[in-house]
Amino acid sequence: MSKKVYVGMSGGVDSSVTAALLRDQGYEVTGVFMKNWSQDLPGHHCTWEEDYQDAKRVATELNIPFKLYDFENQYRQKVVDYMVSEYKAGRTPNPDVMCNQEIKFKLFLETALSDGADLIATGHYSRIKDGKLLVGLDKNKDQSYFLYRVNESALKKSLMPIGELEKPEVRKIAHKLGLSTAAKKDSQGICFVGKVGIKEFLETELGSQKPGKIIDQHKEVIGMHEGAIFYTIGQRHGLNIGGGLPYYVTSKNMKKNEVYVTTDIDAKELWCDHLEVSDMFYINKTMEKDKKYMVRTRYRADLIDIKNFVVNHDNVTIYLKDEVRAITPGQSAVIYENDRVVGGGIVI
């Protein structure tokens, strides 16, 4: 008897092709749209209904059953509230990591299994083999960075078929099958707000922020910012400081509501040869001293060789072979052993 797979269908081309591939491989496929966010924001319309209709249309084209799971309340608690509290604390969180950990590979998985599924599937550009998470074959699209907090037991119940493909091939398959999402653009922006930027979103959640001083490397006040929560380490755009060399954010003081910047791209505050990571999570097993590991400190950043690491309970100090720029508190540091994701933690 064929296995029942519930495919998370977002209304995009990747999850549409995921459902098509699994159907053609002989699985009994059901499409599921997760309604995580429906709120309109000032000047921006939330596209959830259009995405839902696109996903439903593809399910009809593939002749598979289709369901809607409403996760909006849980999403608010697990992802949005976490994200807002991190920004308020002066950190720069990664909501996609939390969404995968708490919603897609926990809540969706549990709900689907209790609903009769044997497995779930998503349109992620990553691969799963024997409960291990591997990078996607398309290195430009690889999403393993966002999946490092998905546990082994969840991976064993999950499929990611397009991780074996490159993006142009996925589009080609969609066109060949005549799927209505074949030419649909990839969604941009935060995972749940579509085209809305983080500044607009935080202003909706928290209201306008108190302006404060922007202070340069010479301790001179060179401008005013619109709220320290909006700025992240290494940022150079959106500072609105006119003339001369570009400025880069080196740090900020939330209590004083001050943002510190420099024109010196080589400033020691911007570069680190080690980083502190908290809340470590390992997918399969912990790091071993005799193994060679690499770390990625933000999505699409280069992998940096790890020279050494020191474990202290849930925290790990990672010493890098090369200096890395703009290590940002709140972001994820994800550890790799060749193509396998070992795990990772939150930069402090």
Report the alpha-carbon distance of residue 301 to residue 243 in Å, rounded.
29
Give tens-digit pLDDT for 31-71.
999 999 998 887 778 889 999 999 999 999 999 999 999 99
The answer as to whether 193 is a domain residue is no
191 is a catalytic site residue: yes
Residue 213's domain is classified under what CATH number? 2.30.30.280
Report the alpha-carbon distance of residue 326 to residue 233 in Å, rounded.
6
Exactly one of 191, 318, 320, 324 is catalytic; name it. 191
**Helices 48-62 and 13-24 meet at what angle, rounded to 10?**
20
In this prediction, residue 41 carries a pLDDT of 81
In this prediction, residue 191 carries a pLDDT of 56
In this prediction, residue 271 carries a pLDDT of 96
Residue 283's domain is classified under what CATH number? 2.40.30.10
99 is a catalytic site residue: yes
Q: Which of 262, 280, 305 is the last residue of a domain?
A: 262
> Do residues 212 and 156 share a domain?
no
The answer as to whether 46 is a domain residue is yes
Measured from the Cβ of residue 60, the count of other Cβ atoms closer than 10 Å reads: 12
The answer as to whether 196 is a domain residue is no
The answer as to whether 225 is a domain residue is yes
Query: Residue ranges of the chain with pLDDT lower than 70?
Result: 188-196
Q: What range does the domain containing 338 cover?
A: 270-347
Which pTM value belongs to this model? 0.94
Domains in the chain, number = 3
Do the beta carbons of residue 298 and residue 315 sit within 8 Å? Answer: no
> Do residues 233 and 168 share a domain?
no
> Do residues 18 and 103 share a domain?
yes
> Do residues 138 and 279 share a domain?
no
> Do residues 22 and 148 share a domain?
yes
The answer as to whether 182 is a domain residue is no
In this prediction, residue 100 carries a pLDDT of 96
> Do residues 11 and 130 share a domain?
yes
> Do residues 94 and 40 share a domain?
yes
> Do residues 239 and 166 share a domain?
no
> Do residues 250 and 290 share a domain?
no
Exactly one of 99, 170, 179, 283 is catalytic; name it. 99
Q: Which of 130, 158, 176 is the last residue of a domain?
A: 176
> Do residues 293 and 337 share a domain?
yes
In this prediction, residue 188 carries a pLDDT of 61
The answer as to whether 311 is a domain residue is yes
Measured from the Cβ of residue 85, the count of other Cβ atoms closer than 10 Å reads: 11
> Do residues 274 and 256 share a domain?
no
Question: Looking at the chain, how many residues does it have?
Answer: 348
What is the three-state SS of 267-335? CHHHEEEEEEEEEEEECCCCCCCCCCCEEECCCCCCCEEEEEEEEECCEEEEEEEEEEECCCCCCEEEE
Do the beta carbons of residue 333 and residue 344 sit within 8 Å? Answer: yes
In this prediction, residue 252 carries a pLDDT of 96
